[in-house]
Amino acid sequence: MSYDIRPATASDEPYLWDMLYYAANMADDGASSPEAAKTHPYLAAYVRDWGRPGDLGIIALAPTDQQAVGAAWLRLLMEPDHRYAAVGVNIPELAIAVHPTVRGQGLGRRLLTQLLAMARMVYPAVVLSVREHNPARRLYERAGFTIIDTIVNRVGGESFVMLYTFRSVDDNATGAG
């Protein structure tokens, strides 16, 4: 199925809370609704006051009824929300989720590819964390993310911090990178 993709705006904040619920695997952690993300001290920073300078995101819409079915977004997390010592505060963190009813159709890959193309014009790199056994890790590796650290995640398990660095103009000219 072909999905329409549009930029995320401040009015998409309620939908981004829903998608954060899926992106953070909150159901696996015992949360029963996306409302739990709004009050979670670690997760709320990814969406609260969406639309501030530096926020960059996209929303996927089903072509039949234009209902939102996925999102990918980037946010600079400044102190005290900055997560990874190995990554500068000028590197945004990525969150991405596809509604469970449309998973397995390539939408996550499309969202990731399109958001990275947009981010290339603004940021030097993008960082994310993914739980050790999350199948999305393969998507990130195929896209070019590399593991730079292993951390204990918010539920006590292991997650990988993964970085995607954009090639510089000089790297493209020489074929390096």
CATH label of the domain that carries residue 10:
3.40.630.30
Which domain covers residue 48, as residue numbers?
4-174
Q: How would residue 172 be classed by pLDDT, with cut points 50, 70 and 90? A: very low
The predicted-structure confidence for 83-141, as pLDDT tens digits, reads as follows 777 788 899 999 999 999 999 899 999 999 999 999 999 999 999 999 998 999 999 99
What phi and psi values does residue 59 have, to the nearest 5 degrees? -125, 135
Helix, strand, coil shares, percent, the chain, to 5 = 30, 25, 40
Total domain count for the chain?
1
Q: What is the pTM of this model?
A: 0.88
Q: Which burial class, exposed, middle or buried, applies to 135 when counting CB atoms under 10 A from its CB (0-12, 13-18, 19+)?
A: exposed
User: Rounded mean pLDDT of the chain?
Assistant: 88
